[in-house]
Amino acid sequence: MILAEVTFIPMGAGASLSPYIAEAWRLIRESGLKHEFHSMGSNLEGEWDDVMALVRRCHERFFEMGAPRVSTSLKIGERRDKASTLRSKVEHVRQILDS
């Protein structure tokens, strides 16, 4: 399983990108992958092929919506020595802060 942070930037699509971002969020929610939305992108948790297929689907959808150019930034983290989830990473840091 991987954890990923993705940011989609439709370029040349006008001043307001909200319709594009809302569409990406809709696709992410419908994917069934664990996710977290934040103001500068989205965090995803899942298997390699599922995460990459979703990123591509969102990227392609922006072109379908009329964006002439799309920039997608993707960061991937994977841990093989123990299970790591979006939730566990945050909870671990909170435990350290609380001690």
Name the amino acid, one letter, at 19.
P
| CATH number for position 6 | 3.30.70.930
Nearest Cα to 37, choosing from 54, 52, 22? 22
Nearest Cα to 12, choosing from 71, 67, 73? 67
Phi, psi of 45 (to 5 degrees): -135, 125
Other Cβ atoms less than 10 A from the Cβ of 72: the count is 16
Report the SS3 class of residue 67.
Answer: coil
Domain hosting residue 39, numbered range: 2-98
Q: Give pLDDT < 70 ranges for the chain.
A: none
Determine the pLDDT at residue 86: 85
Determine the pLDDT at residue 93: 85
The pTM (predicted TM-score) of the whole model is 0.86
Determine the pLDDT at residue 89: 82
Determine the pLDDT at residue 76: 97
pLDDT in tens, 79-94: 899 888 888 888 888 9
Residue 58 near residue 92 (C-beta atoms within 8 A): no
State how many domains the chain has: 1
* Sheet strands side by side (includes 41-46): 34-38, 41-46, 2-11, 69-78
Residue 5 near residue 78 (C-beta atoms within 8 A): no
